[in-house]
Amino acid sequence: MRQLSLRQAEALAQQALRAAGAPQRVAGSVARALVAAEADGLASHGLMRLPYYADQAASGKVRAAADPVAERRAPALLHVDAREGFAYPAIELALAEGGRLAREQGLALAAVGDSHHAGVMGHHVEAAARDGLVALAFANTQAALAPWGGKKALFGTNPIAFACPRATDAPLVVDLSVSAAARGKIVVARDKGESIPPDWAFDPEGRPTTDPAQALKGALAPFGGAKGACLALMVEILAGALTGSAFSHEAGTMFDAEGAPPRLGQLFLLIDPQRLGGATTLARVESLLAAMLDQDGVRLPGARRLALREKAQTEGIRIPAALFEELSRRAAQEPAEV
């Protein structure tokens, strides 16, 4: 393993992305997102994604230099066209403009279309909550789950995230995938030569498997059985149909550089809590959280993530040596023409 400060990791990631053709403004946005995932202990959404991102930028599967465009379609409706570029700059624009609308109108719905892999959805809603808004987010991903009773992957792992500001502490963040495990975790297990738990996925014949390679050829298991599969369907409609983007089964894989842009979608509901619930809203939230913590063994969602983040601020992060060498090799190349 290699130890890096957060600043070193961001610089390395930016250089590798610049070499793949991303302009500085885009490389900075993507690098910050990937390193933030590492700092929170979410390696499956961290720097292991960068070689895939860079190869897709070089091949044109993602338009690395694309500038997202925002269009207000109604007083509280915003559409951001990611223009087949990276999701992170488009989401930053959606939250900035959508947040302005939410403070103006009381709430706003911000849709991001023709987008790419959105990373840790909890980070996006957390940013909105730090700006004083309650946020709910939906995103579709490459096909990974079969409809309940089926064998062929049709829905994505389709994360759902929620964040609420707090008066005196970091925002409350809930971030979950509708699959029993994130696809990225299975990719990590495959790359490490490790097995996976038998309730994570099915092989191409619909049988439970502990082999990550077979799982990636088959379908992931939804959490909660049929209920999880229904949530996946719901997110497909919200993030795919409403944003004017591709459905999961129409998008290509995020783990190679071949094929057309995935054209995924993300949808954000942003609410001004005081405009809706009044001045005591956040105090009432605190009373609920206090009642939870009054019970032995209870901790708030995200407590482990925040502890790891605080540790990373002083100690940095650790990544596999092979990944460090790969990123260093890419970073050493001359920046591609944009």
Q: Work out the average pLDDT over 106-116.
A: 98
Alpha-carbon span 303 to 60, nearest angstrom: 39
- Percent of the chain surpassing pLDDT 70: 99
Cα–Cα dist 161/268, whole Å: 9
pLDDT tens-digit series, residues 115-155: 999 999 999 999 999 999 999 999 999 999 989 888 889 99
- CATH architecture, domain defined by 1-65+303-338: Orthogonal Bundle (1.10)
Q: Is the dihedral of CA 210, 213, 214, 219 positive or negative?
A: positive
- Spatial CB neighbours of 293, under 8 Å, sequence gap ≥ 6: 299, 300
Tokens describing residue 234: 């719901």
pLDDT in tens, 264-289: 999 999 999 999 999 999 999 999 99
CATH architecture of 67-143+155-173+229-288: 2-Layer Sandwich (3.30)
Residue 185 has a pLDDT of 84
Q: Specify the pTM.
A: 0.93
Tally of CA atoms within 13 A in the half-sphere of 98 that contains its CB? 33
Query: 179-211: per-residue pLDDT in tens?
Result: 988 777 888 899 889 999 998 999 998 899 999
Tokens for 76, please give them.
Answer: 């509280």
Distance, CA of 138 to chain centre: 10
Residue-wise pLDDT tens digits, 222-257: 999 899 999 999 999 999 999 999 999 999 889 899
Where exactly are the structural domains of the chain? 1-65+303-338, 67-143+155-173+229-288
